[in-house]
Structure 1
């Protein structure tokens, strides 16, 4: 079984991905000719900004994330990235994320506290 990434590795990786998305967004914006290139550049820029904000908030996010099951953090980040890419999907993403979080919390409550 592979080892999970340590917290010391995750934050720099998040910054690297955010920078790559923002640089790629700028490159596509300047040199892309089609409207689909402009849409992709805008979406990459929004996702890059969300990931940069997560990088800034990483130290404060580590503690509250322990209160929830691990899937809740993943659902939240994926929801933020989808909304950053296409804000019109808010009416589909928010109920879907809420349903997934509720199911995750119910499953965790039936399983009991994690064993260490």
Structure 2
């Protein structure tokens, strides 16, 4: 998991709006195969999530959903409950729509009384 987190915070990420549809298609297949094989900690998965622009990732996630009939985040939830898989799910949700994700986290925190330091962000 450390490799994923380090890659996310240290790798340069292109911030432009250009999309390569062919790349989105091939990387959607790579991500699907990794989830199917439960190879979440695969170098290619980490490389894709940590280096692609957010626009390119959105194209990849949309292609994933179009090709496989399920969103990548929902497919990750259905794939099991391994800690690395949960981290990937959070990463993808944050990349996909950070505002929506953190609204959900805050909503769950506010609904509870007291504090829960051990609560998961998933």
Provide TM-score, normalisation by structure 2. 0.27
Higher relative contact order, structure no. (Cα contacts within 8 Å, ≥ 6 residues apart): 2
More helix by percentage:
1
From the CA coordinates, give the structure whose radius of gyration is larger.
1
